[in-house]
Chain A
Amino acid sequence: MTNAIKALFRRRSISAPSPAGMALSYLALGIWALVVLFPIYWLFVTSFKLPIDVNTGPFYVPFVDFRPSLHAWHYILLGDLQRDTIRPYINTVVVALTSTLLALLLGTTAAYGLTRFRYQPRIGTILSFIGCLALVIVAATLGVPWQIALVASGALFIVLLQTIGRRFKRSLGNNDIAFWLISQRMLPPVAVVIPIYVLFQRLHLLDTRAALIITYLATNLPIVIWLMRDYFQSIPIELEECAAIDGASRYRILWSVVLPLSVPGLVATLLFVLVFAWNEYLLALFLSSANAQTLPLTVAAQNATRGPQWWYLSVLVLIMIVPVIGMAIALERYIAHGLLVGAIKG
């Protein structure tokens, strides 16, 4: 008897738990799976409910508790709301995809440069650049025409570069640049969004997809650089050296040697950045209104005067999350791996 109980708790091997442990593990994992899946199930069920089914209390199982109806789906996809849905949907797809691809392009090349080249920007140069930029802004806000301010401080920058810039011999290294780029992720968007708003207003780009694409590109570049830099560091350099001896150019080495080797990292980064751009809310809230509205805004705006219309809302959220969830399920293996490489090196 005691032996039987002991056997219940004995591990069969290091990674295979005892039968009792296994049951407990399944229980815990099952509970969390329920916690994850139930809200999604509820969303799904609600999208088939009539208003009366939602308002008279909780009903759980279609066909048993209530009669499912396609009215909300019909309304969102074919009916009155269709043009209000299609436009944000296209906006979201265009903005998310374009900004993600651009971020991948610029971020990957920058990350590659930072792992394989040596950069030594002078501290004097950087300081005088920032000083001149501050001068332009202060001058422009004080009423000096910005073209004049720009030209004047551009001239000042060159003068400074030739005089003071030379004195400071200390320069930064690759790690400093990488740290600076990555630390931009720390910047709360709300701290920079008002000037960006003013800027795009001046450029007449407010409420366009271009404004969102540029902003998302800037906010997502740090993630790409951070993840891809660590990924490139984990790739042995010998292959690239061989290619260089064979006479391949730097660009060719990156394109046909390094990138094919880093597909897992690229895929993880792509998904991560895409999800960020797809779901972004605050920047879109500031920078777009009717024209370039993205889906998160459409969803958030469903808070009508009579309270949210849950049935429409559920449909909207569902059609919004289906593409990303599909991608996530398909690419699940890459995500963990790609993220881990980044987290180890930090």
Chain B
Amino acid sequence: MQVERQPQGPAPSGLGLEAPLWKNLSQKLTTWAERLAGNVFVWPAVLVVLFLSIFPLILSLYLSLSRLRFVKGGFEINFVWLANYRKLLAGSEKRHFLGVMAGPSLVGWLVFAVVVGLLILWLVRYVRSRSFSVGGLVGRGLTTVVVSLGLWLLVRTLSPEGRPGTLVVTLIYVFVGIAVQYLLGLGLAVLATQRLPGRRFFRVVFLLPMMITPVGVAYLFRMLVDTDKGPFQPIWQALGLGLFSWVSDPWGARAAVMIGDIWQWTPFMFIVLLAALEGQSVEQIEAALVDGANRWQIFWHITLPQILPVSTTLILIRMIEAFKIVDLPNVLTNGGPGTATESLTLQAYIAWRSLDLGGSAAIAYILLLVVTFIGIAYVNLIRSRVAEE
């Protein structure tokens, strides 16, 4: 103690006394800040996300179980249990949400039988395999049931007499859109990896659609699909379709929405796949060439396995984003004709606009369940397997 105090003792001026104290304090502050660094780094982000996701999710669940009613001087919220969900799945909104059911067509039956058969085969094989576990079986069983139900809904609403609801339309947007985007993106990326003069031009140009606001894309395609004043009018005339209107035909309108989506998001697939292809090792390909493999064999056996992990992540990202589709159908077709092009998000927005808060929240929650289920099934069943290989 004595030794420590000594330097303080003889110091006459106030300045000399303060300096070590201040230094001491700042040092303490630094070590304290240093110790807290880990928390300082993570907490702000966690808090923001927590604040704007967990809290709204709970409140949203509550809203989806209740009905808003206007009374004198405000509104009251009545708890109605699952009435909003019942309305969507079995009540007055069923035609809108699920669609009009009809007997499946012959093709529908065939597709359904084949897919369900394959799913059961896949389950049986899993039960007999060595990596069998109860949890895995439950997950796979659940996937089988849900996929079968979804497919049953699909084949029944897509048969000639049926009419798909917003759920089915959203699923079509997501899966057809992603399949086309991936294949186009992959094809273009394979072509663009070749050492062609001027490929930088293509790479920059192909990037552009991704940057354009989806609302802008929607208007753009509204101009382009106009068979009367749009730029392709001579082609429609020549085909005798001058009076055909894309946006007043249900499938034409859906196709227009999907084309816009594909136009916008193929670049995303393209740039990442291109980077993946350029990063792959050349030695294997050289060895295969020496062994006399043709181009198709090289692509199928060497290139594709190498870009598979990237591809699965890419598809996952696009899937997550694609389920949120709303701008394109809202602006391009206004959800019409009728409700033919409405996506789930758009339906929820329209319900909100007509002050049906509970119904809107219920639609949003079903969307959340669908996305979560598909996301988890995809990650567990496909991505983990690819990662293992």
Residue from A110, A134, A187 in contact with B53 in the complex, judged by beta carbons closer than 8 Å: A187
Residues from chain B with a CB closer than 8 A to the CB of A33 are 201-202, 205-206
Which of A138, A141, A302: most chain B Cβ within 10 A? A141
What's the nearest-Cβ distance from chain B to residue A102, in Å?
Answer: 9
Bound CA span A321–B237, Å: 32
Q: Please tell me if the beta carbons of A15 and B193 are within 8 angstroms of each other in the complex.
A: yes
Contacts A54-B229, A249-B34 given; does A37 touch B53 at CB 8 Å: no
Interface locus among A67-75, A76-84, A330-338:
A330-338
- Any A CB within 8 A of the CB of B126: no
- Any A CB within 8 A of the CB of B196: yes
- Any A CB within 8 A of the CB of B275: yes
Q: What 1/0 mask marks residues of chain A from 110 to 133 whose CB sits below 8 Å from any chain B CB?
A: 101110011100000000001001
Residues from chain B with a CB closer than 8 A to the CB of A239 are none
- Number of B interface residues in the complex (CB < 8 A): 109
- Any B CB within 8 A of the CB of A8: no
Q: Please tell me if the beta carbons of B54 and A14 are within 8 angstroms of each other in the complex.
A: no
Residue from B62, B286, B330, B345 in contact with A300 in the complex, judged by beta carbons closer than 8 Å: B330
Q: Please tell me if the beta carbons of A189 and B324 are within 8 angstroms of each other in the complex.
A: yes
Residue from B34, B191, B203 in contact with A25 in the complex, judged by beta carbons closer than 8 Å: B191
What's the nearest-Cβ distance from chain A to residue B375, in Å?
Answer: 6
User: Mostly helix, strand, loop or mixed at chain A's interface?
Assistant: helix
List B residues 188-204 near A (Cβ within 8 Å).
188, 191-196, 199, 201-204
- Any B CB within 8 A of the CB of A148: no
Q: What 1/0 mask marks residues of chain A from 187 to 199 whose CB sits below 8 Å from any chain B CB?
A: 1111111111011
- Any A CB within 8 A of the CB of B257: no
Q: Please tell me if the beta carbons of B208 and A14 are within 8 angstroms of each other in the complex.
A: no
In the complex formed, the residue of B with least CB distance to A214 is: B52
Q: Please tell me if the beta carbons of B195 and A133 are within 8 angstroms of each other in the complex.
A: no
Q: Please tell me if the beta carbons of B38 and A29 are within 8 angstroms of each other in the complex.
A: no
- Any A CB within 8 A of the CB of B360: yes
Interface locus among B108-116, B129-137, B308-316:
B308-316
Q: Please tell me if the beta carbons of B367 and A324 are within 8 angstroms of each other in the complex.
A: no
Q: Please tell me if the beta carbons of B275 and A218 are within 8 angstroms of each other in the complex.
A: no
What's the nearest-Cβ distance from chain B to residue A190, in Å?
Answer: 5
Residues from chain A with a CB closer than 8 A to the CB of B299 are none
In the complex formed, the residue of A with least CB distance to B282 is: A14
Q: Please tell me if the beta carbons of A58 and B60 are within 8 angstroms of each other in the complex.
A: no
- The 14 listed contacts between A and B (C-beta, < 8 Å) are A17-B196, A29-B188, A29-B202, A33-B201, A42-B220, A186-B371, A188-B324, A190-B348, A296-B327, A299-B216, A310-B223, A320-B216, A324-B212, A337-B275
